[in-house]
Structure 1
Amino acid sequence: MSFTNTVLITGGTTGLGFQCALTIARAHPEFLIVITARTDSNSAAATINKTLRQKNVVFLPIDLSNIATVRSFVKDWETKKYPSICTLLLNAGLQFPEGLRKTVDGIEATFGINHVGNTLLFYLLLPHLAKNVRVVVTSSGTHDPAQKSGLPDAKYTTAEELAYPAPEAAQIDGRQRYATSKLCNILWVYALHRRFQAVEGTSMTVNAFDPGLMPGTGLAREYSAPMRFIWKNLMTRIIPLMRVLFHPNVHTPRESGETLAWLATNPNLEGASGGYYEGRKTIKSSVDSYNEKYQEDLWEWTVKFDAKSPEELSRFEKAN
């Protein structure tokens, strides 16, 4: 079958990403849906194809914690001659609640995976994006202290300090690193939005998405065994109660996956860019997320870290 466009979803084999891929594949059999993760141990792509009796979903491995493998992924992509990417969902993310973890490239792992890995993939895929591409970055309400999520407040200093924290930062609660990485997602979205808007004749859009609390997903896989049990077996059964007692933005992965698919493909949202979506409505993100000094510090550090040549630096900076 000849496909018209490609949809690429990082973290697409489980939870939110899987449900989003299933929803888009069902609604758009004419699209090639590429789901990525380190592994596809549950045969997610085959499961979706079998469920829908289609063949438009494929799995490609990528490790966002390793710059070399991200670059290898894109080199391999260029040989496949896939249709242009009309939808890029930067959804993959991890949380490390205890201790200080680093990637093989020597940067703090939460920041490295949730921000650097996803953004490097975006920069390298620029030549393969459709002119009307929709980019959606999965963030979280945990980035906003005003939402009182229960996690330590996000704290942005500089991108350099987030990537290379001082030794004493090992004592910081890893959940704060996660909240801060979700703030970085939004800072980067707003910086990218400004650059998209500056390109004449473009209809590229970029938005941030808060899927809400989704008990049962793989986000808690680095937690202790008792906490993983509660996350997967108890909290999944009391979601309606949690909406009443905790926050209305608590959902199953299927519910949030369908909403992410809506944001990614709904024709009524064509041209909508620079927004922060909680479910299907735009809301204000945190006060710090609108700080343009933070946005530009993060953007400039990221392109300099990700680029390996002057040509890449220029192309990444302009994002076109």
Structure 2
Amino acid sequence: MPETKRTILVTGGTSGLGYHATTNLARQHPDNTIIIASRSDSNSAASSIRQLTGHQDVHFLPLDLGNLQNIRSFAIAISERGTPPISILLLNAAMQFPDGIKYTIDGFEATFGINHVGHALLFHLLRSFLADKARVVVTGSASHDPAQKTGVPDANYTSAEELAHPVGEAVKNTGMQRYATSKLCNVIWSYALHRRFASIPGKQWTVVVFDSGMMPGMMPGTGLAREAGPVFKFVWHRVLPRLVPFLRRVLSFSVWTAQESGSNLAWVPSEESTSGVYYDARTQIKSISLLLLGSMFLAAASVSHHAG
């Protein structure tokens, strides 16, 4: 018997990790509508996935997570096209801004605004479209946890207000630290959602965080480097992905291809009974310390104010 018609929606599904995860999901769920959402689809990812998998119900919809009005318009488009209920929601898109501080059109620091606030608003707008049984997967990063010693500057959460509108010394924080902090906010927000899901009658909603398996490590070829300089982008996208076998022999940390991590990300929705946990590839692990967890629940409470 074919499965009931449902929708799988992936943010950042046009390249790198998201693209390969979406390709795998299209193969695994041939009867579901697949929507990939990103600012643009310059690589014709939707067409490519249809061709590779034979799944013809794969579509691209433009979504700019750095523009709150655009996110609201995206939710309206989902409603107007009569999209079947969403059973798998992969909140995967992310950005890094290594060269100085940048802001979204709404005036938020862009790393926090896109990686965290944009996804939080998107979820809350799509909540009414979730199937009674739905899986939310949030792509995380080992950089959120200082104990993992990733080499990235430690995440530094003070308040959602300061992350959204940094002033004083906070303006000098590095782009990589802003990235790590945005991922920390996503982890805490996911745990807060888990707590709330448990009290919603009639719904079987689960939420987990997925780490591509880099503790510490690297995954060249992803879209994270698109705001970097041209030389770094060329090396990241064109050179390093071809050197993965060599890098695995000479580096002390793990190196993953986007294809490998995409396969792992597509696997996580199949573990639908788990919720409020953190996956390193396909293994459940502890993430941040309980002490930090307790102080950080404030982040989840503050997001609705910024995204409102």
Does residue 219 (structure 1) correspond to residue 221 (structure 2)? The answer is no
Q: Which amino acid aligns with 1:77?
A: I
Assess if the C-alpha contact under 8 Å between 2:118 and 2:307 holds in 1.
no
Aligned to 2:286: 284
User: In structure 1, which of residues 244, 247, 258 is the aligned counterpart of residue 253 of structure 2?
Assistant: 247
Aligned to 2:205: 204
> Separation in 2 of the partners of 1:289 and 1:226?
41
Post-superposition CA distance 1:153-173 (Å, at most 9, x none): 111111111111004433221
Aligned to 2:147: 146
Structure 2: 5+ residue stretches without partners: none
Q: CA deviation at 1:196?
A: 0.8
Assess if the C-alpha contact under 8 Å between 2:185 and 2:300 holds in 1.
no
SS at match of 2:209: strand
Q: CA deviation at 1:201?
A: 4.0
Aligned to 2:175: 174
- Structure 1 vs Structure 2 CA RMSD: 1.8
> Separation in 1 of the partners of 2:90 and 2:283?
18
Q: CA deviation at 1:109?
A: 0.2
1:289–1:229 distance in 2 versus 1, CA, 3 Å: farther
> Separation in 1 of the partners of 2:239 and 2:194?
39
1:289–1:94 distance in 2 versus 1, CA, 3 Å: farther
Q: CA deviation at 1:228?
A: 1.9
> Separation in 2 of the partners of 1:289 and 1:254?
35
User: In structure 1, which of residues 233, 237, 243 is the aligned counterpart of residue 238 of structure 2?
Assistant: 233
Q: CA deviation at 1:302?
A: 0.9
> Separation in 2 of the partners of 1:171 and 1:145?
19
User: Percent of aligned positions with the same letter in both sequences?
Assistant: 49
Q: CA deviation at 1:288?
A: 6.7
Q: Which amino acid aligns with 1:190?
A: Y
TM-score (norm 2): 0.93
Aligned to 1:275: 277
SS at match of 1:194: helix
> Separation in 1 of the partners of 2:186 and 2:16?
19
Q: CA deviation at 1:51?
A: 1.8
Q: Which amino acid aligns with 2:138?
A: V
> Separation in 2 of the partners of 1:141 and 1:246?
16
Pick which of 189-198 and 199-208 moved more. 199-208
Aligned to 1:57: 58
Pick which of 195-204 and 55-64 moved more. 195-204
1:137–1:116 distance in 2 versus 1, CA, 3 Å: same
Assess if the C-alpha contact under 8 Å between 1:63 and 1:70 holds in 2.
yes
SS at match of 1:221: helix
Aligned to 1:110: 111
Q: CA deviation at 1:242?
A: 4.0
SS at match of 2:74: helix
Q: Which amino acid aligns with 1:236?
A: P
Q: CA deviation at 1:303?
A: 1.4
Assess if the C-alpha contact under 8 Å between 1:3 and 1:83 holds in 2.
no
> Separation in 1 of the partners of 2:285 and 2:305?
31
Aligned to 1:316: none
> Separation in 2 of the partners of 1:40 and 1:289?
41
Aligned to 2:38: 37
Aligned to 1:131: 132
Structure 1: 5+ residue stretches without partners: 308-320
Q: CA deviation at 1:298?
A: 1.2
Assess if the C-alpha contact under 8 Å between 1:187 and 1:289 holds in 2.
no
Q: CA deviation at 1:294?
A: 1.2
TM-score (norm 1): 0.90
